[in-house]
Amino acid sequence: MAMSEQAKVSKRQHSEQVLVRFTPEHLRLVDAAAERAGLSRTGWIRSTLIRVARDELSQPEPDV
């Protein structure tokens, strides 16, 4: 994500919440990835999920 896009995202108001449960092992992985990226846990989860969702939606739909 370009810095200007990140700046826009950080100025947005986040009003919806999603409760997600993690195993302790998975949470350690998330925390390590967030720390490596220099982000908070929430910031890393949010940016990663949005990036993955955009990528998924840019792919052609699978044949059913």
This prediction's pTM: 0.73
Residues 23 and 30: their CA atoms lie apart, in Å, by 11
Q: What is the pLDDT of residues 5-36, one digit of tens each?
A: 666 666 778 899 999 999 999 999 999 999 99
Residue 1 has pLDDT above 80, yes or no: no
Residue 39 near residue 47 (C-beta atoms within 8 A)? yes
Mean pLDDT of 34-42: 98
Mean pLDDT of 32-59: 97
| 11 token code pair | 């100025």
Burial class (CB in 10 A: 0-12, 13-18, 19+), 11: exposed
